[in-house]
Amino acid sequence: MHTEHTIETSAERQNRHKAMEAIAVLNSLKEDFKSPIRSMGYFYDLFEKVYCHHQPLHEGKAKIGTMCIQIPSEIIYALDAVPIRLCNGFYTDDEIGGDLLPQKSCPLVKATVGWFASDNFSDKPDITFSPTTCDQKTKAGAIIESFGHTVIDVGFPRTKESEESCHYWRESVKSFAVKLSKFQGKKLTRSNLESAIKKVGYAQSLYHKLTEFRKNKAVPILGVDMFLVTNAFFFDKIDEWISAVEKLVSELEQRANDGVNVAGKASPRIVYTGSPPIFPNYKIPLIIEQSDAIIVADETCSSNRMFNDMVAVDEWNLYDMIDSVSDKYLKACTCPIFTQNDDRIRRIIQLVRSYNGDGVIYQAFAGCQVYEMEQRSVLAAMEREGIPILYIESDYSPSQHGQLTTRVEAFIESLKNRKRMKK
Amino acid sequence: MRYFVGIDIGSTAIKISVTDENKNLVGHKISASGSMFYKYAQEALAELLKELGIDEREVVYTVATGYGRKLFKEADENISEITANAIGAQQAAKSYGNIKTIINIGGQDSKAISLDAEGNVVNFAMNDRCAAGTGKFLDVVAMNLEIGVDELSAYHFKSVGTPLSISSTCAVFAESEIIGLLGNNHSVEDIVSGVHYSIAKRIVKLVKRVGVKENVYFDGGPALNDGLVNAIENELGHKIFVPEYPQITTSYGAAVLACDAFLSESAS
């Protein structure tokens, strides 16, 4: 018999949708693969806590939203606030944002806008800084502001070779530091910035330790697990992240000694590049690793690009430190928004060489213009180098799963054949 | 007495409704379509009339509907199940309010119908692919979980974890997904609520194609499943009305139409 039910509010519905997306991916990570890693439990629990149970992590702390990778987290930590990176991987939010942006927009940007439109956060940023990187993110900042949230633009140059752009960016970062310091009512000092740089640097060094193990013939950690670990850095408490990764490093050390391999004997080794896989949009990485290949390295801004390059300080005085921090976010960046981007191609080739990659998979989000445009030069470069590459365009919708799987499987099989022929 | 019969021959079941001259439902019957629609429909009608103590000659007008309607040659008229569903819903929900949107989930298809203020069909949408997310699908799910279809609702409300989404609503692929989930010791409750939400999301997408206007009416066999009702309400964000006998709305609509047709014929 039909009874009266309480009906979810739209926020409850959105939370349930996100929980359902999240749990499906977490279950896949936990259950679909052999030799699970014990210390990954911290990360599985963290994502479940935040995205299935919507529990806040940073109550009582100032939370600083960042719209892109370029906002220096060193300065945020130095001023005793928490950076929350707002790049969003949820299809639920993408659908909400889809009503507000042109249809062919990037799903990541739509998801971020949808997140603010629904104003449903477990850790809502108090203020957001938006670097003027790609067109869509730049414009999204203004849309988010129209919802009544404070968004401050941080000018970012589209070229990185010239002295002028280096100078422009250093000034932008200084002005960001001044604004944030005012907002926080706290001074940026030599000592608080130095310790923040060292802490973030230490987190980066742990990441480097993790990636070293992936050079081994027997790979002790899945690419999807690595994406989860780096993704946690978007929002986790940095000290807890550090201690969880320390445990992970020592477990991987043990696994490397024991020769544990999460992949198969003939699994092709993949270098992943393109639009960032952000939880729970691990669609393509999951398909790759469920199709008997292993991601050994990546060139994406949700992972490698976030950790690869360290801040190089000459003199530990305040202004030198700020400039060094700025330079890390400009010179080392391989984002396709730049006019020329040979650095990115060099980085991919270098990753293929040093991680002994068999092929590259390049995903562009449909609607992410710069990645779509740059595929041409990357594909041509890979062809010159004799590196097989598969280019895939996809979005956050779960609908084309079957077709994508077929394409990825065929590519992986061709890599296996190639390997066999070489022998 | 004069009686009117509406007979809805669907893919899974034959539904018969009998009304009096005031369009009140006097009796109904639901039986399996099986392999011989025509024969079973005749038998079911004869049985129902016998149960109700109605002589065959008292039945003055019969309307057939449903996708097997053309096989029932004794009918005075036949109409599409869309029209019959709209008429039946309006009449069945009379005391509740004006129905503007109908969600119907049948044995092997699902539809959304949008009505104007007079109860005329202005738009409708049907599922375009196979039996995804229909009654048949629920049968397969219940079978895989080794529970009865009528138990699904109770399991749904007992779910305390996150509903586990089934990415495939194809009955064949979903079967392997469910077996996978069971193999990993996930709770049957969370699987059931996940299945309900997967169907609900799909049907709400369909409804949005025709536009959601209140009041919303939900019928077809799966509307007996209160867990599914709740899932659709949550996806839609508002209440839906489920009639007392959700399976027979369409046949009831056909009977109401039979009554109208007879009265207008005898008036002219």
A4 is a domain residue? no
Which residues make beta-bridge pairs with A85? A66
Q: Given B162, B237, B238, which is nearest A20 (Cβ)? A: B162
pLDDT values of chain B reduced to their tens digit, one per residue, 268 residues: 899 999 999 988 999 999 999 999 999 999 998 888 889 999 999 999 999 999 999 999 999 999 889 989 899 999 999 999 999 999 999 999 999 999 999 988 899 999 998 889 999 999 866 777 789 899 999 999 999 999 999 999 999 999 998 877 677 778 888 898 999 999 999 999 999 999 999 999 999 999 999 999 999 999 999 999 999 999 999 999 999 999 999 999 999 999 999 999 888 7
Q: In what order do the strands lie in the sheet with B59-65?
A: B25-32, B13-19, B3-9, B59-65, B77-78
Q: Given B186, B194, B229, which is nearest A2 (Cβ)? A: B229
Instruction: Please give the C-alpha separations between residue A379 and each of A106, A191, A302, in angstroms, as whole numbers.
Output: 21, 46, 22
A3 is a domain residue? no
Euclidean distance between CA atoms B91 and A79, whole angstroms: 67
Domain spanning B1-93+247-268, CATH class: alpha beta
Euclidean distance between CA atoms A1 and B26, whole angstroms: 20
A398 is a domain residue? yes
Euclidean distance between CA atoms A248 and A30, whole angstroms: 16
Tokens at A363, concatenated: 């995903």
Domain residues for A366? Answer: 10-422
The predicted model scores a pTM of 0.90
Euclidean distance between CA atoms B109 and A31, whole angstroms: 34
Euclidean distance between CA atoms B123 and A233, whole angstroms: 49
B237 to chain A: which residues are within 8 Å by CB?
A: 7-8, 10, 13
> Which tens digits make up the pLDDT trace of A363-414?
999 999 999 999 999 999 999 999 999 999 999 998 788 889 999 999 999 9
- Chain B residues with CB under 8 Å of a chain A CB are 161-165, 167, 181, 184, 186, 194, 197, 226, 229-230, 233-235, 237-239, 242
Where do we find the tokens 């738009």? B123
A158 is a domain residue? yes
Domain boundaries, chain B: 1-93+247-268, 98-242
Grouping H, G, I as helix, E, B as strand and the rest as coil, residue B32 is strand
- pLDDT of A1 above 60: no
Most B CBs within 10 Å, among A1, A6, A18, A23, to test the B interface: A23
**Mean pLDDT to the nearest integer, A43-72:** 97
Which residues are within 8 A (CB) of B219 and not within 5 positions of it... i.e. 6 or more apart?
B85, B88, B89, B102, B103, B104, B242, B243, B246, B247, B249, B250
Query: In degrees, to the nearest 5, what angle opens at C-alpha A124 toward C-alphas A119 and A127?
Result: 100
Q: Tell me if B162 and A1 make a contact (CB, 8 A cut-off).
A: no
Task: Return the beta strands (E) in A120-200 as ranges.
Answer: 127-131, 151-154
A390 is a domain residue? yes
Q: Tell me if B164 and A23 make a contact (CB, 8 A cut-off).
A: yes
Q: How many domains does chain A have?
A: 1
- pLDDT of A2 above 80: no
Do B61 and B75 meet the contact criterion of CB atoms below 8 Å apart?
no
B98-242 and B1-93+247-268 share a CATH fold: yes
Per residue in A176-191, is it b (16+ CB within 10 Å) or e — as a string?
A: bbeebbebbeeebeee
Confidence of residue A225 (pLDDT cuts 50, 70, 90): very high
Grouping H, G, I as helix, E, B as strand and the rest as coil, residue A193 is helix
Q: Tell me if B194 and A5 make a contact (CB, 8 A cut-off).
A: no
Which residues are within 8 A (CB) of A51 and not within 5 positions of it... i.e. 6 or more apart?
A18, A19, A21, A22, A279, A280
How far does B48 lie from chain A, in Å, by closest CA?
A: 24
Which residues are within 8 A (CB) of A99 and not within 5 positions of it... i.e. 6 or more apart?
none
DSSP calls for A275-324 = SPP-TT--HHHHHHHHTT-EEEEEE-TTTHHHHSSPP--SS-SHHHHHHH
**Domain at B98-242: CATH architecture:** 2-Layer Sandwich (3.30)
Is the CB of A258 inside 8 Å of chain B's CB atoms? no
> Which tens digits make up the pLDDT trace of B175-224?
888 898 999 999 999 999 999 999 999 999 999 999 999 999 999 999 99
Euclidean distance between CA atoms A18 and A94, whole angstroms: 11
